[in-house]
Amino acid sequence: MSSVVDAPWFYWAIAVAVGFPVGLVLLTELHNALLRRNSALARPVHLVRNYILPLGALLLLLVQAIQISGEATPVRIVATVFGFVVLVLLLSGLSATMFQTAPDGSWRRRIPSIFLDVARFALIAVGVGIMLAYIWGANVGGLFTALGVTSIVLGLTLQNSVGQIISGLLVLFEQPFQLGDWIETPSARGRVVEVNWRATHIDTGGGLLIMPNSVLAAASFTNYSRPPGTHSLGVTTTFAVDDPPDDVIAMLNRAAAMLPQLRPGATPSSVHAGGLQYSTAVPLRTPADDFAAKSMFLRWVWYASRRAGLHLDEADDEFETPERLRASLRIVAPTLRLSQDDQQALLPRVRLTRYGADEYLQYSGQVPKRMMFIVNGKVRLAATDNAGGLIPVRTLEKGEFLGQTTLTLEAVTAAAYALEEVTVLQLDREVIEDLVARKPLLLQEFGRAIDERRASLRRALAAAGE
């Protein structure tokens, strides 16, 4: 009588009885460790522990321990389920190891999703074919032959359409642009808002342009967002031939340096481009700021050129007329305690200028060389917080003044910018000194204004938590 140990199923039963629980314990610990590390491999290990290992153990028991024929329907069903789970494991493991853990910018990250879908479909088709052939004994050769012939016929029929799709997919694979990039094509300029396997959607500001990827693949285009931090806006201006080039360049650089769209840490530059033209390069944070920055720059240059006595577009400034000067002196006369004779005497010693909306009249920390009296418009005094933002302090209107520390040669503590077009009457330091020498009460009023504005600044900073 033969011993149980000599039975062919004995060692298979022992292997399953011991190996199955040990494998469960090891895979459980590995799965928990991968979960703590947020690893993409946790899901494949979960599939192995919960499905592959139990089904494999069951299949071994049926075929080796119980010795049921492999052609039996229960065995084929278990083997088919086991094969499907292995196929799912291969797909999950391939995705986790090849693509989910791929570093940014690598070729694995740039592969379009449609390529992955095609690869998954091919893998599933091969896996199902193998299971049908080896488990169920089906003849899959004829099926694959028919599919191959059908694919060739469809490829020849749709070769133009397929060629466009492939060229578009190559653009996606190379990724010369990403979502949010600003590009200029032969037909449009705008921001990329969507990219799929067929077309690129570009927001032009006046609508959404749908451009096939095959068109982009066959044409040249400019990506203004790459490399990052290098975009500059170029603006060309024209001045009179008699305007000193150095004065024009200095004025253009001052205007560009105060643009809110200027890239932090960057410096604009202007050059004489020959003839009457000057070119200014303004480094910007993003191409999205081009339109706003150019509009504001040209508007500020219009005002700044007239204040500097320059001739933008060869035009003369005829704003400062004797009539306007007299009218402006009458507006500020109560503030400066001016009589009619005083106004007449000051007429050749004052200057009437204008500032555009959002343009700065003075900067925090600046030592003013003259006082400015508001004739028309509104000016906002503002302090600068630790983050570089502006904290409103107060609003100055017609008849009020700026630059009162010109007499004490102290730096101003608050910046001032125009809320709208502002007309100011400028009096140099020497003129103010003559006035306060003859009118001592003016000096007291200027001193009181300095103290009041410093107190307003402290209250504004305290309210903002600075």
The position carrying tokens 């022992």 is 14
Residue 44 located in a structural domain: yes
Beta strands at 370-376 and 199-203: parallel, antiparallel or unpaired: unpaired
pLDDT at 149: 57
Same domain, 15 and 151: yes
Which of 307, 341, 364 terminates a domain? The answer is 307
Edge-to-edge strand list for the sheet holding 222-223: 208-212, 199-203, 189-195, 182-184, 222-223
The CATH number of the domain where 421 resides is what?
A: 2.60.120.10
Residue 442 located in a structural domain: yes
Q: Which domain holds residue 261?
A: 232-307
Higher per-residue confidence, 220 vs 157: 220
Q: Which of 162-176, 178-192, 337-351 has the lowest mean pLDDT?
A: 162-176
In angstroms, how far apart are the furthest CA atoms of the chain? 142
Helix (H, G, I), strand (E, B) or coil at 383: strand
pLDDT at 456: 87
Token reading at 343: 């106004």
Answer whether residue 210 shows pLDDT above 50: yes
Mean pLDDT, the chain, integer: 83
Same domain, 91 and 190: no
Same domain, 296 and 189: no
Which of 156, 182, 213 terminates a domain? The answer is 156
pLDDT in tens, 375-390: 999 999 998 877 767 8
The CATH number of the domain where 193 resides is what?
A: 2.30.30.60
Higher per-residue confidence, 269 vs 216: 269
Residue 16 located in a structural domain: yes
Token reading at 432: 């103010």
Token reading at 107: 């070729």
Distances (CA, A) of 47 to 14, 18, 51, 63, 130: 24, 20, 5, 23, 21
Answer whether residue 155 shows pLDDT above 80: no
Same domain, 344 and 454: yes
Answer whether residue 370 shows pLDDT above 90: yes
pLDDT at 158: 47
Same domain, 197 and 250: no
Number of structural domains the chain divides into: 4
Residue 4 located in a structural domain: no
Q: Which of 115-129, 315-329, 423-437 has the lowest mean pLDDT?
A: 115-129
Which of 284, 307, 330 terminates a domain? The answer is 307
Neighbouring CB atoms inside 10 A of 97's CB total: 14
Closest CA to 308 of 363, 239, 388, 229: 239
Answer whether residue 148 shows pLDDT above 70: no
Confidence label for 463 from pLDDT (cuts 50, 70 and 90): confident
Same domain, 191 and 60: no
Residues 71-90 have a mean pLDDT of 82
**Number of Cα atoms under 13 Å in the Cβ half of residue 113:** 4
Residue 161 located in a structural domain: no
Same domain, 212 and 256: no
Residues 314-331 have a mean pLDDT of 92
pTM score of the predicted model: 0.65
% of the chain with per-residue pLDDT over 90? 35
The CATH number of the domain where 248 resides is what?
A: 3.30.70
Q: Which of 128-137, 153-162, 291-300 has the lowest mean pLDDT?
A: 153-162
Residues 68-75 have a mean pLDDT of 78
pLDDT at 1: 41
- Cα 220 from chain centroid (whole Å): 23
Same domain, 247 and 342: no
DSSP 48: I
Closest CA to 269 of 242, 288, 250: 250
Residue 316 located in a structural domain: no
Residues 332-342 have a mean pLDDT of 91
Residue 166 located in a structural domain: no
The position carrying tokens 């508001």 is 374
Contact between 276 and 240 (Cβ < 8 Å): yes
Same domain, 341 and 417: yes
Residue 332 located in a structural domain: yes
Same domain, 327 and 458: yes
Instruction: Determine the Cα–Cα distance for residues 331 and 373; give it in Å rounded to an integer.
Output: 9
pLDDT at 44: 80
Same domain, 16 and 152: yes
Same domain, 442 and 344: yes
The position carrying tokens 């643009």 is 259
Beta strands at 182-184 and 222-223: parallel, antiparallel or unpaired: antiparallel
| Long-range own/partner contacts, residues 389-397 (CB < 8 A, 24 or more apart) | 390/415, 391/460, 391/461, 391/464, 391/466, 392/460, 393/453, 393/456, 393/457, 393/460, 394/453, 394/456, 395/419
The position carrying tokens 């001592």 is 440
Q: How far apart, in Å, do the first and last CA atoms of the chain sit? A: 97
